[in-house]
Chain A
Amino acid sequence: DAGVTQSPTHLIKTRGQQVTLRCSPKSGHDTVSWYQQALGQGPQFIFQYYEEEERQRGNFPDRFSGHQFPNYSSELNVNALLLGDSALYLCASRFGANTEAFFGQGTRLTVV
């Protein structure tokens, strides 16, 4: 049984560009959350998707947007990239309200 998978694993982009990160949740999981982890910090919550809708959003600008597909997979889009967007982006999935979240290995984004 595959866990949470994210692609790509590494990415280098130029300031001002746009990027799309992808996440496939663990089998049977229907809720996907995205986190940003800057170097030397703990992960920060970006947003959560359930039934193809954004249910909650953290303190991130509108340049960060997402989508969830009928098969529960999810995308994170970031427009107009800034140097400060360089970070590890983690996707987490779960099923049900009282279960632990399982994380993917992350996408390491570098903006130059």
Chain B
Amino acid sequence: AQKITQTQPGMFVQEKEAVTLDCTYDTSDPSYGLFWYKQPSSGEMIFLIYQGSYDQQNATEGRYSLNFQKARKSANLVISASQLGDSAMYFCAMRKRSGNTDKLIFGTGTRLQVFP
């Protein structure tokens, strides 16, 4: 069965430092996509970054980069130069296709707190 595992319930980081949020996944599908979402206390899921299973290079979006290690089935999110506004829940998700439909399978999330 497809599964996402986030083993860090909470992380602390000082402003301007980098932080890595861990994500491992389990799938037998040869083609899949991995996502990271940020969820502030307001509730909205904000898309951060996407990595396709066949992408040769690690994805980057501004201060966000995804450390994709396919053999280890890990897709860690790296946030560089943390800001106070980065404090939120972060979810790793995998897209599971079923015929012409799909759904996202989420991990349990990591709460990141950035302190001055």
Report A's interface with B, CB cutoff 8 A: 33, 35, 40-45, 48, 50, 55-56, 58, 88, 90, 92, 97-98, 100-106, 108
Contact = CB atoms under 8 A, between A and B. Distances in A.
Contacts of B98: 56
Nearest to A55: B101
Nearest to A54: B101
> B interface, how many residues as a size bin?
20 to 34
Nearest to B96: A45
Given A100-B50, A105-B43, A105-B44, A45 B37 contact: no
B103 A43 contact: no
Contact of A33 (B103, B106, B108): B103
Contacts of A33: 103-104
A42 B108 contact: yes
Interface in B78-108: 91, 93, 98, 100-108
A97 B102 contact: yes
B47 interface: yes
B21 to A, nearest CB: 13
A50 B37 contact: no
Interface string B20-57: 00000000000001010100001111110010000000
A91 to B, nearest CB: 10
Contacts of B104: 33, 35, 43, 45, 92, 101
A90 B45 contact: yes
Contact of A58 (B4, B46, B91, B103): B103
A7 to B, nearest CB: 13
